[in-house]
Homo-oligomer: A and B are copies of this chain.
Amino acid sequence: MTAVERQSESGKARRLSELAALVSGEVLGDASTLISGVAGLEQAKAGQLSFYGNQKYKKQLGTSAATAVLVPRDNEPSDRGVVYVRVDNPHLAFARIAQEFAPKRTYVPGVAAGAHVDGSAVVDASATVMAGATIASGARIGARSVIGPGCYVGERARIGDDTTLVANVSVMEECVVGSRCLFHSGVVIGADGFGFAFDPSVPAHIKIPQTGIVRIEDDVEIGANSCVDRATTGETVVGHGSKIDNLVQVGHNSVIGPMSILCAQVGLSGSTELGTGVVLAGQVGVAGHLRIGDLAKVGAQAGVMSDVDDGATVLGAPQMPAKDFMRSTAIFMRLPELSKQIRELQRRLQALEQETNKP
């Protein structure tokens, strides 16, 4: 293997003052404290920095072994010697500081022995192609991109700069992937969309050729074993900055706007359009040929059967406003009681009717 990972200097301890400055934080305590790394409240050890952004974790805040904790601006100082750092958004500040400590992976550029690169493919000299990877004819790999073991980049597919395909990833022919993308193991980009027309005279399902492509914009992360199908004609699109979790299905000709979030096991049928900043929670299913508006949120396991307005928060299958769903569900849970109340009403009413109609 020509690609060798080397640990960066990221393991070095840093002054809290320096870290706080990165996130415009106010240190409530000794700003010269040395911080060796970051961790969640429960996992943190002495010397580490953690964050507290949600009152649900008040108990963990009180017992964490962290030396320093990022807290909201209005948080009281610690009463047990922990150094608090007040910031606007503890979760975001944690992300920024965690990146300072994260090990940086470096790769030896070049095509490893044991990689299979077609003579007509163009691999940037700064890119890394690992053993067991295959780059087909006419494909292009951008600067500093990494094509991991077992990955396949199909004919005339294009991969931008600083993009990583981890392992056993397939990017099929003609598909286009932007820069700074990260596709985890087993991702499949550009398998055929699922399109058939039934011919009763054979009988058989006749395949509709899927001759479109997938276009993934910049800064997209896609989780392990997720699939984005190629368009029947035209493009299936994942907009810039969108993040897709594991085992997600994106059907042909779907268009996902920028900065959307698709949690694990979500399924989009064909020709679905998602706006900007949409959030689909885990296991959501979305029917075809409809639109989910900008900043809409869809709760876990919901089944979206019709358009969703910009900014709406919906739940259920078919989906409804989240509050309504919660009210209906609360009553669903006591339906046996309701049914009994109705029978009781019938009995009493009948008694009353007989009473009233007595001669």
Contacts and interface: CB of A to CB of B under 8 A. Distances in A.
Interface of A: 1, 4-5, 38-40, 42-44, 56, 89, 91-92, 94-96, 98-99, 101-103, 112, 114, 116, 118, 130-132, 134, 136-137, 148-150, 152, 155, 166-168, 170, 172-173, 182, 184-186, 188, 191-192, 194-199, 203-209, 211-212, 219, 221, 223-225, 227, 229, 231-234, 241, 243, 245-247, 249, 251, 253, 259, 261, 263-265, 267, 269, 282-283, 285, 287, 289, 300-301, 303, 317-318, 320, 324, 327-329, 331-336, 338-339, 341-342, 345-346, 348-349, 352-353, 355-356
Contacts of A225: 186, 188, 225, 227, 247
A117 B205 CA distance: 34
Nearest to A332: B328
Given A43-B233, A103-B211, A345-B342, A303 B300 contact: yes
B188 A224 contact: yes
16 contacts: A40-B233, A56-B289, A92-B199, A98-B209, A114-B114, A132-B152, A194-B246, A225-B225, A225-B247, A265-B267, A300-B303, A324-B333, A328-B333, A338-B342, A341-B346, A352-B356
Nearest to A38: B233
B89 A197 contact: yes
A5 B134 contact: no
A353 B348 contact: yes
A355 B352 CA distance: 11
Contact of A149 (B1, B98, B116, B206): B116
A210 B36 CA distance: 16
Contacts of A335: 327-328, 331-332
A185 B170 contact: yes
B336 A259 contact: no
Contacts of A355: 356
A37 B250 CA distance: 25
A264 B1 contact: no
A303 B301 contact: yes
Contacts of A118: 1, 4
